[in-house]
């Protein structure tokens, strides 16, 4: 069993936009106990996220329902902006933050994505809240580190998603006696058999591009291993490294096995191809499991199977959704009440079974989770943890944007040299690893 490895953050996060307007402050720093119960504030909250899809919206709605039970009379404005992985929401958020018009609270990934707002001075510290709720030893230390800077904690993690999962259609795999592709050799062997039988081997929906970036980051991890994968985002590995090139060769080869309409489909469409048997496999974070079980009512190990993406046994690509308190939030007291629910075991156990994720808290109740999530919980405790680039943890929003732009081109022209050169420029322009 490998020792659990600390997740490292990406370098100094560059903010996407030039933040010029100074927002008012929401109470004092470390303000959990100071402002809660102040009494003058309207019981209202605007919750901003991108959870509109099946499975995703169910999880959010369950949390909101619990919040309203705990806080009767509170008015909730659900300002979710459609588009997986925040494709559209992040832009809307940036515009609002720039205009000094933040939502009360917003979804943000632990790691570099959150730190971009922290570095811009846009977030309130939540140390008092953690203290008052006794949370300091209820979340894994590595996760607290991902939402902290200089001793201040800036967000409450609601989930842990795993990014390196390959889902497969169980009936198809049984029918052709295929092995779960935990290595690239098995993957291509399976893929060739499937192709011979006229079945699309790998379902992909990369309309929003991050889906392709995510597939590549999983291939990269499976090719170079967790140490080098980490070092890449710290700017310590040359972009001419043979492992990076190899990962692109493998990724390019995989693209020969995907559905021809992938550019027109989003992540859910891609996952659905496996559910309906139109494709045999799909690589997607485990929000796909939320979609399968919560929305499509599929059964794990009966309708769909899963394994880690090729070459990543013992590695866990971590994606954690968090919420915080932006400076200038109109209803800071209500936000603190919301965050209390979000960080409670009850909140986490209401949300995560629907969402496909596992609880971020270490003391949540495993019996509330299905066989997939119980395995993910066990793996999370022992695996090497690696931060996702596609979901904002590994590097700054500016770098990720540049990679996504280059990826859109790569998926079409599959020119490895051109992609590597775009990576070099993106790293330089965004001070990767600094």
For 64, how many CA atoms within 13 A lie in the half-sphere containing its CB?
21
Q: Give 248's strand partners.
A: none
Q: Is 208 in the site for ligand GAL (CB under 6 A)?
A: no
Q: Is 90 in the site for ligand GAL (CB under 6 A)?
A: no
- Contact between 170 and 304 (Cβ < 8 Å): yes
Q: Give 307's strand partners.
A: 166
Whose Cβ is closer to ligand GAL: residue 35's or residue 322's? 322
Q: What CA–CA distances, in Å, run from 148 to 139, 142, 233, 234?
A: 13, 10, 19, 18
- Name the pairing type of β-strands 200-203 and 161-162: unpaired
Whose Cβ is closer to ligand GAL: residue 86's or residue 397's? 86
Q: Is 335 in the site for ligand GAL (CB under 6 A)?
A: no
CB of 118 to ligand GAL, least distance (A): 18
Query: How far is residue 254's CA from residue 195's CA, in Å, rounded to a whole number?
Result: 12
Whose Cβ is closer to ligand GAL: residue 32's or residue 400's? 400
Whose Cβ is closer to ligand GAL: residue 102's or residue 111's? 111
CB of 417 to ligand GAL, least distance (A): 30
CB of 319 to ligand GAL, least distance (A): 5
Q: Is 361 in the site for ligand GAL (CB under 6 A)?
A: no
Tell me which of 319, 406, 407, 432 binds ligand GAL, using CB under 6 A. Answer: 319
Tell me which of 56, 206, 211, 337 binds ligand GAL, using CB under 6 A. Answer: 56
Six-digit token string for 207: 């309309």
Positions in 375-394 near ligand GAL (CB under 6 A): 391
Q: How many CB atoms lie within 10 A of CB 302?
A: 9
- Contact between 202 and 258 (Cβ < 8 Å): yes
Find the angle CA(211)-CA(428)-CA(242) to the nearest 5 degrees: 65
**DSSP assignment, residue 103?**
-
Query: How far is residue 12's CA from residue 21's CA, in Å, rounded to a whole number?
Result: 21
Q: Is 308 in the site for ligand GAL (CB under 6 A)?
A: no
Whose Cβ is closer to ligand GAL: residue 111's or residue 328's? 111
Six-digit token string for 129: 């809240």
Positions in 123-162 near ligand GAL (CB under 6 A): 161
Q: Please give the size of the binding site for ligand GAL, defined by CB under 6 A.
A: 12
| Span of 78-86, 291-299, 378-386, 415-423 interacting with ligand GAL by CB under 6 A | 78-86
Q: Is 286 in the site for ligand GAL (CB under 6 A)?
A: no
Whose Cβ is closer to ligand GAL: residue 56's or residue 190's? 56
| Span of 66-74, 81-89, 248-256, 273-281 interacting with ligand GAL by CB under 6 A | 81-89
Q: Is 351 in the site for ligand GAL (CB under 6 A)?
A: no
> C-alpha 80: how far from its chain's center?
16
- Name the pairing type of β-strands 165-169 and 384-387: unpaired
Query: How far is residue 273's CA from residue 204's CA, in Å, rounded to a whole number?
Result: 8
Closest CA to 322 of 121, 148, 132: 148
Six-digit token string for 215: 């597939």
Q: Is 112 in the site for ligand GAL (CB under 6 A)?
A: no
Whose Cβ is closer to ligand GAL: residue 89's or residue 341's? 89
Whose Cβ is closer to ligand GAL: residue 85's or residue 215's? 85
What are the start-end ranges of the E strands in 98-170?
105-109, 148-149, 152-153, 156-157, 161-162, 165-169
Whose Cβ is closer to ligand GAL: residue 58's or residue 383's? 58
- Name the pairing type of β-strands 75-80 and 279-283: unpaired
Q: Is 85 in the site for ligand GAL (CB under 6 A)?
A: yes
Whose Cβ is closer to ligand GAL: residue 287's or residue 338's? 287
Q: Is 350 in the site for ligand GAL (CB under 6 A)?
A: no
Binding site for ligand GAL (CB under 6 A): 50-51, 56, 84-86, 161, 285, 287, 319, 321, 391
């Amino acid at each position: 069993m490998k020792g659990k490895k600390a997740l490292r953050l990406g370098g100094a996060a560059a903010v996407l936009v030039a933040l010029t307007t100074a927002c008012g402050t929401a109470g004092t720093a470390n303000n959990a106990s100071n402002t809660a119960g102040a009494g003058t504030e309207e019981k209202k909250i605007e919750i901003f996220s991108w959870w509109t899809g099946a499975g995703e919206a169910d999880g959010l709605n369950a949390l909101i329902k619990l919040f309203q039970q705990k806080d009767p009379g509170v008015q909730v404005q659900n300002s979710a902006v459609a588009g997986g992985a925040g494709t559209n929401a992040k832009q809307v958020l940036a515009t609002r933050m720039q205009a000094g018009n933040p939502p009360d609270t917003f979804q943000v990934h632990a790691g570099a994505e959150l730190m971009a707002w922290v570095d811009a001075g846009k977030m309130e510290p939540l140390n008092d809240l953690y203290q008052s709720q006794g949370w300091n030893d209820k979340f894994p230390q590595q996760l607290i580190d991902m939402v902290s800077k200089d001793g201040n904690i800036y967000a409450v993690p609601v989930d842990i998603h795993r990014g390196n999962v390959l889902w497969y259609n169980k009936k198809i795999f049984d029918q052709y006696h295929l092995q779960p592709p935990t290595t690239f050799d098995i993957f291509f062997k399976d893929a060739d058999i499937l192709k011979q039988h006229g079945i699309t081997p790998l379902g992909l929906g990369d309309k929003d591009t991050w889906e392709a970036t995510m597939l590549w980051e999983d291939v990269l991890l499976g090719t170079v291993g967790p140490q080098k994968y980490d070092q890449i985002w710290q700017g310590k590995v040359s972009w001419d490294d043979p492992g990076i090139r190899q990962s692109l060769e493998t990724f390019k080869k995989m693209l020969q096995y995907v559905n021809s309409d992938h550019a027109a489909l989003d992540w859910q469409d891609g996952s659905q191809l496996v559910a309906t048997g139109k494709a045999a496999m799909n690589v997607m974070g485990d929000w796909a499991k939320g979609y399968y079980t919560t929305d499509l009512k599929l059964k794990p190990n009966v309708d769909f199977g899963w394994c880690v993406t090729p070459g990543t046994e013992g590695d866990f690509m971590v994606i954690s959704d968090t919420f915080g308190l932006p400076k200038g939030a109109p209803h800071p007291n209500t936000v603190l009440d919301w965050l209390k629910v979000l960080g409670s075991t009850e909140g986490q156990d209401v949300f995560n079974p629907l969402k496909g994720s596992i609880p971020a808290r270490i003391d949540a109740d495993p019996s509330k989770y299905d066989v997939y999530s119980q395995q993910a919980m066990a793996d999370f405790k022992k695996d090497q943890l690696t931060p996702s680039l596609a979901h904002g943890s590994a590097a700054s929003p500016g770098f990720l944007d540049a990679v996504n732009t280059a990826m859109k081109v790569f998926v079409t022209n599959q020119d490895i040299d051109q992609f590597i050169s775009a990576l070099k420029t993106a790293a330089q322009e965004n001070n990767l690893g600094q």
